[in-house]
Amino acid sequence: MTKRLAICVTAFLLAMMACAQDMQETDPAFFQTAEARRIGDQMLLYQRVTGGWPKNIDMAKPMSEEEKAEVKSAYNRRNDSTTDNGATTTQMLFLARLYGAPPQPSPIGREKNGQGVSQKSINQSVNRKYRDAFQRGVEYLLSGQYDNGGWPQFWPEMRDYQIHITYNDDAMVNTMTLLRDIAEQNEPFQGKLTSKKLRRRCMEAFNKGVECILKTQIRDANGRLTVWCQQHDRETFLPANARTFELASYCSQESAAIVKLLMQLPNPDDRVKQAIHSAMRWFDEHKIMGMRVERTRDADGNRDTRLVADSTAGPLWARYYDLQTEEPFVCDRDGIPRKHLEDIGSERRNGYSWYGDRPADLYKRYEKWCKKWGEPYPNFSLLEGSPKG
């Protein structure tokens, strides 16, 4: 690759990264710009007839008219609307912020009998399409909830493991958080974005979701409450398999997000308190100390990921723990659990997050939560415990 070509490729990649970051923007000033409205208009093109959005698409990337026409042609698809990987909830947050930030004054001049068009009228017309798309998104989220309070990751058309109650990649937690914030009119969901009736429905759905979370918390062989799996059977509530390398198990990372959500409940009852205490006990018992994830590249640029000893490292948790032995494991596409990263092929070893530290962020939150509700704090120590790797 020539130096000039390398510079061009780097510039292109940086531009694409900037577009993707724009979808996560929160600065109110940004949403008053033409660029924000351009992105919002493109998001509207991707919204399906279901009211939801597909995943893993940079909707901020500038498109040609031909590309826009191709996106529009997929409008009636009913099998790719999802909340996986932040889809739908990301677009709804963006549109809500866009609706709440009136655009800069338009250069439109006077029209019709010299009366002209008021800026207020222009703003209302522009914003209405964002509000309407947002409300269609709300209806999509509400339509996907099972009677038991859970959500799948794809609907209305789904296949295989997509039917399961899905905590994976925080799909259900993201949905519940959004619905709660809409119901409470938290930023950026203030004003006339939604009606009282719709907000009431959002809170009812959120409360049903909490009930589902409590029903799906896994009990160990001794009957003690623990944490959650990435997926749970929608009928039995038991842990369920997903892709071949995603086996039913105790799942640390998604469980951390669930506990954080439960800690935010304004009036936790005894069941919620027990769920939180039990999960925190499990996290502390299964932390991995003295190890860290090391990512390297060889001379040819090939990636490698290892778990290496490091006495100075902070706590880690494996993504998966066996439901019988409660020992950490990794897995390749053959569906066979293995103990060590080096026991699986390069593609899965380097293409999946097998270890993480999300539960570590809960400790201070947990201590404050215990004090707030007069609950006993076990005084867990992240400096103690033996490695489980």
**38, 78, 243, 365: which is the annotated catalytic residue?**
243
Do the Cβ atoms of 249 and 161 come closer than 8 Å? no
Do the Cβ atoms of 217 and 226 come closer than 8 Å? yes
Which residues neighbour 363 within 8 Å (Cβ) at sequence distance 6 or greater?
380, 382
Measured in whole angstroms, how far is the alpha carbon of residue 59 from the centre of its chain? Answer: 17
Residue 162: φ, ψ to 5°: -65, -15
Question: Taking the CB of residue 381, how many other CB atoms lie within 10 A of it?
Answer: 10
Q: At what angle do helices 119-143 and 196-216 cross, to 10 degrees?
A: 30
243 is catalytic: yes
Task: Determine the Cα–Cα distance for residues 150 and 210; give it in Å rounded to an integer.
Answer: 9
Q: Concatenated DSSP letters for 238-264?
A: -B---STT--SSEEHHHHHHHHHHHHT
Question: What is the radius of gyration, based on Cα positions, of the chain?
Answer: 24
Do the Cβ atoms of 43 and 133 come closer than 8 Å? yes
Sign (positive or negative) of CA dihedral 179, 217, 381, 285: negative
**38, 78, 85, 306: which is the annotated catalytic residue?**
85
Task: Determine the Cα–Cα distance for residues 199 and 135; give it in Å rounded to an integer.
Answer: 11
- Which alpha helices (DSSP H) does the chain contain, by range? 3-22, 34-46, 65-72, 89-100, 119-143, 171-183, 196-216, 252-263, 270-285, 346-350, 362-372
281 is catalytic: no
Alpha-carbon separation of residue 166 from 30, 280, 342 (angstroms): 33, 21, 29
Tokens of 182: 């809409």
Task: Determine the Cα–Cα distance for residues 99 and 95; give it in Å rounded to an integer.
Answer: 6
Active-site residues, by number, are 85, 243
